Each structure stands twice: as structure tokens, then as C-alpha cells.
Amino acid sequence: MQFLQESLIELITQTSTNLPPDVRQAMGDAIRSETPGTQSSQALSIIATNIDMASEGEGPICQDTGMPTFDVHTPVGVNQIELRKAIRAAVAEATKRGKLRPNSVDSLTGKNSGDNVSEETPIIHFEQWEKDEIEVKLILKGGGCENKNIQYSLPCTLDHLGSAGRNLEGVRKCILHAIWQAQGQGCAPGAVGVCIGSDRAHGYLLAKYQLFRTLDDTNPVPELAKLENEIMQEANGLGIGAMGFGGKVSLIGCKVTAANRLPASFFVSVAYDCWAFRRLGVRLDPSTGAITKWLYRDPERAVQRMAQSEGFPLTGREVVLRAPITEEQVRALKVGDVVIIQGEMYTGRDAVHAHLMKNPPPVDLNGSVLYHCGPVVLKQGEAWTIKAAGPTTSIREEPYQADIIKNYGVRAVIGKGGMGAKTLGALKQHGAVYLNAIGGAAQYYAQLIDKVLDVNLLEFGIPEAMWHLKVHDFVAIVTMDSHGNSLHAAVEKETGERLAELQKA
């Protein structure tokens, strides 16, 4: 199969860089229905620009390209061992080309394999079928939304929704709860794949596989079609909005399947996917490996630009910050302000935060901007180039952030999805601010990075290292200020109250 390798690399590249038409359509509808001028609308504007930049420049839509998951169907007689080898080699090559972030980390040593390949990564499922062609479907689902997957065992009691029994009404409550608990941390607006029944492990798999359905299809099972429609309506009335900023669009898809269960078990498994819903597929000629057809794409329909305007609409009221930032500058900021960062910042995520709890920082963090980001970076000659650099989910750093602000004088933390009460307390006590960048907007933010000035702690792997960056016009929104205000806490409370109203309705 002389074309197999290039076909698989092309599938990975296209999946990582170009959203399928049904997702583009859903995101276009979301952009059109959001109220102009709101924070949600501003976020969607950046998202639209990012989608265009990714497809035009063939860069990853989001820096977190997830754990590549392949669903493969082969005719009887195709050598699946060879096909597995070819997929693994294609994944390694696509990583080398900067289309995938090295995301495969040894769970015992913390060492990144560097090429996304290990014994269990990428994930590949094979099935045989009667057709005379190979089908390879791929989904790239990042860690932020993966962490918001949730499984319920009915009967149970849910926040704001009360008791959920072993029936479709109980299932409805679980799905609504799953969407509510994700807030902005899974980069809303998102989509959910749901499995009713099965066992714990297979239920999660079937839930994830619902994400291989197009967002605009209709469930062939009437009661599930009805449930999907109800969830779409109700979830979009909750007011979570893009990035959890509060707004009209929280969900772009709900896909539900049911599978037989044990009499003793009744699981509802929910796979939450973000707006960067990357899923594509190809059919391959089994003798040559050449692509004969793309799945999810309409060859008659050209890819339309998403953005109505360029990036983030500025009003002139934005506040410019340049490190080193003073306490006075930070105290002047309040929730809702838009800031533009010029100059220097450091990245730091899970490994850096854990390291700083026991070791002094390798750089002076006084007055600094700390960006929760695990970028895609390539070394070209002696220089590092940032290929994708959106924010990661900040709540993972909640156990550390307050101490790091206190001990090292960080003045601004950038991330997405917000942080908790301990960090909010530290912002107030020590004079710092939390800035929400737009999750998934990896190309948009990468073009605002002028230069990699240095890198520390590279032994943690590329995404986890501490990158010293020089940026220009880096836009973010104050969502937690130094006066005890948190947009995230406010939206969670308001949407929780709306969830409770759905329980009574």
C-alpha cells in the first residue's frame, strides 16, 4: 500500500487543522445567535478567526490535540498488524511536523514519549466489515474537555436537580448536570456524546463514539431523538455561554445511544467535547492505501471563512499591561475589563506548578505574567517556533496557585475556565488578577507571540516546560479580580439556579 502513510498523515493533518462542515455550521449558528458586544460574543469572534487561521495555515486548531483515537474498519484479509504500525508511524510523523502536540506521558515516570507513540497510544480500535474498502475515522479530543467527561450510576442525587431515577427522566437530569458541571472548563460551547447503559468501561467508549455522528443528524430511535432535542433546548437556556462567560449558546450537539446493561447497573456515561470538535474520516483503497473518499465532508461545498471581522473587536477602553506589573495596576482592574498584554510572559502548567511548590523558580517571577499554556513548539535550526499556544484549563493548578502568587509575586495569571476560592483569596490578599484567554484559540494566540526568549525546565517535555515569551496585543478578559469578584463563581451560581428551575418545570 504505497500511499497508506501519506493518506494517514493527511487525515491527521486535516483533522487537527480544519473543522468538519457540520461543526462549522453549528459554530456559525452560535456566532449569529449570540448577543453582540457580550463577552461570549467576543470569545466567539476570536474562535471564528482562529478556525480560519488554522485551516488557512494548516496549524492545529487547538494546541491540545488530545489522545488521537482511531476507529478502523477493514475488509476481511487486511493485515491489521501492518495497519496499526502504519497509523503509529503516521502519528509520529504528524507530531514531528507540528500537527499534533507530543501528548503521550508515562504515568509512572512523567516522561513524555515526544512522538505521541507508546504501548497504548494512539488509541486504535479495529473492526472487520463486509465492504471492500478500509475506513479510518479519527477524533482528537483534548484534555480540558476530556476531564469534564462524567459517569453517573442511577439512582443518584444531583446538585440542583435532586433525585434521578432509572428512567429517561433520570437520564435527562444526568445529561443536563454533565453540561452544567463543565461550565467553561471544557471550552464551551461544547457537544456531548452519551451512552445509557452498558458497563462502566464500554459505556464511556460508546459515549465517545457518539461524537462520530454528525451534529445535524437525527437519532433513528424516536425517544432518543426527542431527548436530544430537549437537551439542546434546555442546555442552551442555562446561560453558560462561550467559555463559561454567560451567554445564549452553551451546547452545539447532543448525541445519545442506549446499550443493554446488567440488571444491577444503570450507568449514564457522558463524553464532553469542546467547540474545537475535531473529527474526520477517510475511505482507503485496500490495495494502494490511497484516499478514495473523505467522510464528513461535502466535496461540492467549499470551506467558508467563519470570521465576520478580524479577531477581538477593540473598543479603546482596554487596559495595557506590561511586565513587571505593579500592585497598583492590578488593583485598578475589575471583572469584565479587557486587557492587552505587551512584552514578556512565562508559561507554566501542571509540572511547573508542582515543581515551584518545592523549588525556587528558575527565573524572577516578581510582577510577572504566568500563562497556563502547553504550546506546540518546533525547533527550527537553533530557534524555537511556537506553532499553537492557547490557554489550558486553570483549575488543575488550584492546589498550587495561591502559594505561587504569594511566594514569587506573580501579578497576572492567564488561563481558561477560571480558578477556585483559594486562588481568589490569594488574588485579593497579594494583589493579583486572573485573566481568561479564549480556550482553543491556539493559532490566534500563537501569531501574537513574537519570539521565544528562552526555555527552562525543558526536561518536563515541550508542553510542560517553562517558555519565556515575548508577545504583542495579547487580549484577555479579567474574570477574577483582586477585590474578591469571580465571573466564574457568579455564572456557576446563576446557571445552577436555572438548572433548579428545570427540575421544578
The residues that touch ligand SF4, with contacts defined as CB under 6 A, are 62, 64, 142, 144-145, 186-187, 274, 276, 390, 439-440
Which position has the grid cell 483559594? 422
Q: CB 281 → ligand SF4: shortest distance, Å?
A: 19
Q: CB 340 → ligand SF4: shortest distance, Å?
A: 22
Residue 168: all three cell numbers together:
429517561
CA–CA separation, 22 and 297 (whole Å): 9
Q: CB 439 → ligand SF4: shortest distance, Å?
A: 4
Contacts of 317 (CB under 8 A, 6+ apart): 338
Residue 283: all three cell numbers together:
475511505
Q: CB 145 → ligand SF4: shortest distance, Å?
A: 4
Nearest to 414 by CA among 344, 483, 358: 344
Q: CB 79 → ligand SF4: shortest distance, Å?
A: 33
Q: What φ, ψ does residue 218 adopt, rounded to 5°?
A: -120, 130
Which position has the grid cell 479587557? 338
Of 23 and 145, which has the nearer Cβ to ligand SF4? 145
**Count of all residues that appear for the chain in the document:** 505
Q: CB 197 → ligand SF4: shortest distance, Å?
A: 27
Q: What CA–CA distances, in Å, run from 166 to 69, 161, 267?
A: 31, 15, 9
Q: Are 69 and 126 in contact (CB under 8 A)?
A: no
Of 267 and 275, which has the nearer Cβ to ligand SF4? 275
Q: CB 428 → ligand SF4: shortest distance, Å?
A: 27
Of 43 and 330, which has the nearer Cβ to ligand SF4? 43
Give me the torsion for CA of 410, 414, 417, 421, rounded to 10°.
Answer: 10
Output the residue with the shortest Cβ distance to ligand SF4.
142
Of 420 and 439, which has the nearer Cβ to ligand SF4? 439
Of 197 and 417, which has the nearer Cβ to ligand SF4? 417
Provide the b/e sequence for 87-100 (b: ≥16 CB within 10 Å).
bbbbbbbbbeebbb
Of 183 and 257, which has the nearer Cβ to ligand SF4? 183
Of 102 and 390, which has the nearer Cβ to ligand SF4? 390
Which position has the grid cell 496557585? 401
Give me the torsion for CA of 20, 24, 26, 30, rounded to 10°.
Answer: 150
Q: CB 300 → ligand SF4: shortest distance, Å?
A: 29
Q: Are 79 and 141 in contact (CB under 8 A)?
A: no
Of 16 and 210, which has the nearer Cβ to ligand SF4? 16
